Structure 1
């Protein structure tokens, strides 16, 4: 490469998204499947926060997603909470085979609403759809929680890849729609949006 040149990935918008929820819900595996389109074998619990990115084409625009994978364990909660600031969207994940992860959604939702931008786009994700025979949380329950709290909703499988990119696409499209409608200023401070 010539001196003075640099690799630049062109994009129209940059959105910061955080992935939140209880430990063991498959957040890291979902993110890995979205980025690499394969299942992440032997995934360990996230310590603190891990960062990755993916660029999507939505209509005629290119959107780069800054993806922040947060630890679900209580001991990392104070670290994780600092990453809500400046987030444009949050992917809130529960495990359809573990009711306790669904029962704790209110706490995660309260943190997201208290600590992030008032325009934060939230997508509720019921993960591990491939384990339907072990299901403890019905689809209708997830859908109802999403409707009652103004969230987008989808069920996914990190293992098979079913709908793995959907939560991130839903969030990005919703943010773009708000920008297009004029309800969001992408240049406003602390919004999690850059153009």
Structure 2
């Protein structure tokens, strides 16, 4: 998987991905590690919403992931809820050393479902896996919850970089794979009926939300 600077080429697709979870589970550091290979041990809580972009090459297509870091504090939830709109991917993050953050996952999944436009590709992320001696949530518990909710699962450490890139790449690859299957369906339908043109605007993964194609891909399904 290759990364490119802004100047090198124009992306084929733009995917909006949101990071959600309780305050201080390490969402901002996960994003900083992935986007800039940085870690801030004394980072402050995010105020409102911030986002970073990162480009990846998947099967010769350049994907621009626009990753939104939403504040976990309760008082900002009303502000950040609007930013779920248009998201096609989500990382739901908890801290393996703080069980209460794991217990909050159900609430975050409900909020994601309530405020998003579609069934978002979601990965459950148990962050701070480097804190082995302080662990309060076992790996098997995380896997079990992910399986029950139909989510991908991974444990990460923003501190030592473990699985950080893999978590984001898993989301982006799955979104792209879903999109590719939809494009293949549209091509087959067009072969069967050359007059079929869809509505000529967007490619839809599921539900009503769309991925933003950058080079003229068409057709809702």
Report the TM-score, using the length of structure 2 for normalisation. 0.81
TM-superposed CA distance for 1:180, in Å, is 1.5
Q: Distance in 1 between matches of 2:67 and 2:147?
A: 25
2:195 aligned partner = none
1:187 equivalent in alignment to 2:187: no
Q: Distance in 1 between matches of 2:138 and 2:161?
A: 20
Q: Distance in 2 between matches of 1:53 and 1:91?
A: 15
**Structure 2: gaps spanning 5 or more residues:** 1-5, 187-201, 215-221
SS in 2 for 1:119: coil
Report the TM-score, using the length of structure 1 for normalisation. 0.91
TM-superposed CA distance for 1:51, in Å, is 1.3
TM-superposed CA distance for 1:142, in Å, is 0.5
Highest RCO, 1 vs 2 (Cα 8 Å, sep ≥ 6)? 1
Q: Distance in 2 between matches of 1:46 and 1:22?
A: 11
1:161 equivalent in alignment to 2:161: yes
Equivalent pair of 2:13/2:211 in contact (CA under 8 Å): no
1:92 equivalent in alignment to 2:108: no
Higher gyration radius (CA): 2
Q: Deviations over 1:39-74 (max 9, x none)?
A: 224211000001111001222221100011000000
**Structure 1: gaps spanning 5 or more residues:** 1-5
Q: Deviations over 1:99-153 (max 9, x none)?
A: 0000010000001112112231111100001101110000010111111001111
Equivalent pair of 1:39/1:161 in contact (CA under 8 Å): no
Equivalent pair of 1:18/1:90 in contact (CA under 8 Å): yes
Quickly say closer, same or farther: Cα 1:46–1:192, change in 2 above 3 A: farther
Q: Distance in 2 between matches of 1:163 and 1:40?
A: 18
Q: Distance in 1 between matches of 2:95 and 2:212?
A: 29
Q: Distance in 2 between matches of 1:194 and 1:121?
A: 17
Equivalent pair of 1:119/1:191 in contact (CA under 8 Å): no
- Report how many aligned residue pairs link the two structures: 190
2:138 aligned partner = 138
Matches within 5 A, 1:24-39: 24-39=24-39
SS in 2 for 1:117: coil
Equivalent pair of 2:102/2:137 in contact (CA under 8 Å): yes
Q: Segments of 4+ in structure 1 off by > 3 A?
A: 6-9, 183-190
Equivalent pair of 1:89/1:171 in contact (CA under 8 Å): yes
Q: Distance in 2 between matches of 1:76 and 1:191?
A: 26
Q: Distance in 2 between matches of 1:9 and 1:181?
A: 25
